[in-house]
Amino acid sequence: MYVAVKGGERAIANAHRLLDHERRGDRAVPELSPTQIDEQLALAVDRVMSEGSLYDRGLAALAIKQARGDLIEAIFLVRAYRTTLPRFGYSNPVDTGRMAIRRRISATYKDLPGGQVLGPTFDYTHRLIDFALAAEREVAEPLTAPVGPDTETPRVTDMIANDDLIERNLKTDETKPVGDLTRDPLAFPADRDLRLQNLARGDEGFLLALGYSTQRGYGRNHPFVGEIRMGEVEIELEIPELGLTASLGAVTLTECQMVNQFKGSLTEPARFTRGYGLSFGHCERRAMSMALVDRALRAKEFGEERKGPAQDEEFVLSHSDNVQSTGFVEHLKLPHYVDFQAELALLRQMRSEFEARQASSHPEAAE
Amino acid sequence: MSATAENYRGYNFAYLDEQTKRMIRRAILKAIAIPGYQVPFASREMPMPYGWGTGGVQVTAAILGPDDILKVIDQGADDTTNAVSIRQFFEKTAGVQTTTETGKATIIQTRHRIPEATLQDHQVLVYQVPIPEPLRFLEPRETETRTMHALAEYGLMHVKLYEDIAQHGHIAKTYDYPVLVAERYVMAPSPIPKFDNPKMHQSGALQLFGAGREKRIYAIPPHTEVVSLDFEDHPFEPTKFTEPCALCGALDSYLDEVITDDKGGRMFVCSDTHHCESRRAEGHVGALGTPITPVTEAAE
């Protein structure tokens, strides 16, 4: 006999309790601390900070623990926390030219001022499982090289710009506020400030696939990695009441400047074009993907035919956010029986009409 | 007011900060002033996922006052898990009184249904909306659909409905059936069954629609004309049920089909749980129901 689906409240409470249990896992295994996650799963923390749009390592590490390692769930936790925080000001634009470099490579020049600095990279590791890593072991201290205070690492794109071979960065209109899609709904067409903000918090997998698609002909833009740099930059806040600029501390950033297909016109000499990627932490894959997609989205600006998904602003910006995507995809598991019932009713009506038609046309068919 | 739970300590009344509420209220006022028009608003991340009703929750949070009595339903029922979860959210963050009685509520947040009982002037119905744009599946681009609305260019929609009739003999839209509001804007009523569409017309209650992921709010002010799109020779027809509710015998309510065994056994029961319970309390008994004695609300 029919038993009404009651007891939702108790079911939810019990499910949460079970989740707590599963999160903890075997009680005989020592519990993970957020500090361990921050220190030893640092790249996961970087991704959660980037897509969560909040630079707070401890919070991101805690979110990863709470989410049982599900990074999109952790990103969601961070976003929902971030949205409740008050805004007390806007920092000055960061100067990545003054970054304390930990990694800096260029694919366009063999050597350059400041040098190529590999830093901590997987790039030239052989992807062999390191079975020794399964056990605790002593890790050698890294080697360091003395860095003089006069070691300048100018941005590669600035050096190309000195020869006027790359498009100039647009003069920014100081009176025009920078767009913020967390405070105003996104409207189309969107300017580059909003597009970059959207991409900066976009899903890494989505950006990667779109960036990849431009390399395979769906909006090709002939990219060169002018430079990737990773390191610490200082965040400064102007306090007009006190007439001073205060340093709020440093954040780790990864910046990717792509140098792309040149453009010229009757009035302008040909110059390379730019694609830009920036990310919290050490997130090279996302910074590179972002730079490819940024350039692809500038198709209209350069009068290029838009034929790839990566060049389609509405498509890209509307589907890049994984918190939105996962919410809407996963909501399909919520009850839909009212709508399904409406579909059933119409389907049955159409079928009974079909059967009636079949029955009435049967004598003719027999002729 | 009940004690605010530990998790929500430090949050404002009804979770959202006052600046955000003011921004949402402005959008709501604009939406009421232009019935059926989708007003963009700066939707916030909420502590539940997009698709779980973040738009409705934000609208409710923005209009909720300490004296309001809140009812939350999903699929017409107060006891579905998501309705329970959202009701608990407001119990914890706002400490407001909640109810399952349609008549007692001042704000009703709903997913996929309009209650069977006629809503009154003092009530607000808040819909959770997944896709606010009725033209979205005909034209995926927002720039295009906004222009179509601006020009009241709805030919594409009529062609779609006509093609349904040509192909299936019926308009193949059984829920989220498009309506024309105040003779101007074509509007998506959210995925309520078309059975519920007539209830929107000239309703005494204010109807607010919140789409969180899509960042849109729209409204039907009280006593507004809401017409389901149709053709003269194919007039709009709400879904009809051939049998009454098995528990309360209601002939005029929307029914859920419940599979009772694996041999084709099924029964139909009211989707609106409060409607069904109050009918049974009044002594109505369906074919498979048992008489119940009236009880006072236990949920409080």
Q: How does residue A267 score in pLDDT terms, banded at 50, 70 and 90?
A: confident
Q: For residue B15, give the chain A residue with the closest CA.
A: A84
Residues of B designated catalytic: 36, 245, 248, 270, 276
pLDDT of amino acid B298: 47
pLDDT of amino acid B300: 41
Contacting A residues, span 175-204, partner chain B, CB-CB under 8 Å = 182-189
Q: For residue B246, give the chain A residue with the closest CA.
A: A2
CB contact under 8 A, B76 and A182: no
Nearest to A82 by CA among A63, A95, A66: A63
Tell me whether B51 touches chain A (CB under 8 Å).
yes
Nearest to B175 by CA among A332, A342, A348, A347: A342
pLDDT of amino acid B1: 38
8-state DSSP, A55: -
Query: What would the pLDDT profile of A240-253 be if each residue is shown by its tens digit?
Result: 889 999 999 999 99
Q: Which residues pair with A246 in a beta bridge?
A: A237
pLDDT of amino acid A86: 84
pLDDT digits (tens), chain B, 300 positions: 344 445 566 789 999 999 999 999 999 999 999 999 999 999 999 999 999 999 999 999 999 999 999 999 999 999 888 899 999 999 999 999 999 999 999 999 999 999 999 999 999 999 999 999 999 989 989 999 999 999 999 999 999 999 999 988 889 899 999 999 999 999 999 999 999 999 999 999 999 999 999 999 999 999 999 999 999 999 999 988 989 999 999 999 999 988 888 888 889 999 999 999 999 999 999 998 887 765 554 444
The beta-carbon neighbor of B44 closest among A83, A188, A335 is A83
Residue A184: alpha-carbon gap to chain centroid: 19
pLDDT of amino acid A8: 74
- Residue length, chain B? 300
pLDDT of amino acid A65: 98
Contacting A residues, span 124-143, partner chain B, CB-CB under 8 Å = none
Name the 3-class secondary structure at A21: helix
CB contact under 8 A, B169 and A7: no
Query: What would the pLDDT profile of A177-199 be if each residue is shown by its tens digit?
Result: 888 999 899 999 999 999 999 99
Query: What would the pLDDT profile of A10-65 be if each residue is shown by its tens digit?
Result: 888 999 999 999 999 999 999 999 999 999 999 999 999 999 999 999 999 999 99
In this model, does residue A323 exceed pLDDT 50?
yes
CB B255 within 8 A of CB B248: no
- Residue percentage of chain A with pLDDT more than 90: 69
- Rounded to 5°, the CA angle A357-A359-A364 comes to 90
Q: For residue A174, what are its two tokens?
A: 């100081």
pLDDT of amino acid A365: 52
CB contact under 8 A, B84 and A12: yes
- Residue length, chain A? 367
Scan for tokens 């808040």, then name that residue: B126
CB contact under 8 A, A353 and B169: yes
- Residue percentage of chain A with pLDDT more than 70: 96
pLDDT of amino acid A9: 81
Q: How does residue A149 score in pLDDT terms, banded at 50, 70 and 90?
A: low
In this model, does residue A280 exceed pLDDT 90?
yes
Scan for tokens 């599900």, then name that residue: A70
Q: Note the helical H segments in A216-336.
A: 284-297, 313-319, 322-330
DSSP string of B200-259, one letter each residue: HTT-SSEEEEEETTTTEEEEE-SS--EEE--BTTB-------SS--TTT--SSS-EEEEE
Tell me whether A147 touches chain B (CB under 8 Å).
no
Higher-pLDDT residue of A120 and B262 is A120
B80 neighbourhood in chain A, CB within 8 Å: 5, 8, 335
CB contact under 8 A, B49 and A349: no
User: Residue B18: phi, psi to the nearest 5?
Assistant: -65, -35
8-state DSSP, A9: H
* Residue A335, number of CB atoms within 10 A of its CB: 18
Q: How does residue A147 score in pLDDT terms, banded at 50, 70 and 90?
A: low
Higher-pLDDT residue of A173 and B130 is B130
B69: left (phi over 0), alpha (psi -120 to 50) or beta: beta
Q: How many CB pairs lie under 8 A apart between chains A and B?
A: 149
Contacts of B131 (CB under 8 A, 6+ apart): B137, B176, B188, B211, B214
* Residue A324, number of CB atoms within 10 A of its CB: 23
**Shortest CA gap A327–chain B (Å):** 4
B257 neighbourhood in chain A, CB within 8 Å: 337, 341, 344
Q: Tell me the average pLDDT across A107-115.
A: 88
Contacting B residues, span 239-268, partner chain A, CB-CB under 8 Å = 239, 241, 246-247, 254-258, 260, 267
CB B206 within 8 A of CB B218: no
pLDDT of amino acid B54: 95
Q: What whole-number distance in Å separates Cα of residue B112 and Cα of residue B194?
A: 10
pLDDT of amino acid B294: 54
pLDDT of amino acid A148: 62
The beta-carbon neighbor of A350 closest among B54, B170, B192 is B170
Contacting A residues, span 318-347, partner chain B, CB-CB under 8 Å = 318, 323-324, 326-332, 334-339, 341-346
Amino acid at residue number B155: G
Q: Which residues pair with A236 in a beta bridge?
A: A247
DSSP string of B16-61, one letter each residue: S-HHHHHHHHHHHHHHHHSTT--EE--PPP-SS-TTSSHHHHHHHH
CA-CA-CA-CA torsion for B123, B128, B131, B133, nearest 10 degrees? 10
Name the 3-class secondary structure at A78: helix
**Shortest CA gap A211–chain B (Å):** 22
pLDDT of amino acid A3: 43
* Residue B42, number of CB atoms within 10 A of its CB: 16
Q: For residue A82, what are its two tokens?
A: 């971030």
Q: How does residue A111 score in pLDDT terms, banded at 50, 70 and 90?
A: confident
Q: What whole-number distance in Å separates Cα of residue A207 and Cα of residue A276?
A: 13
B85 neighbourhood in chain A, CB within 8 Å: 12
Q: For residue B146, give the chain A residue with the closest CA.
A: A188
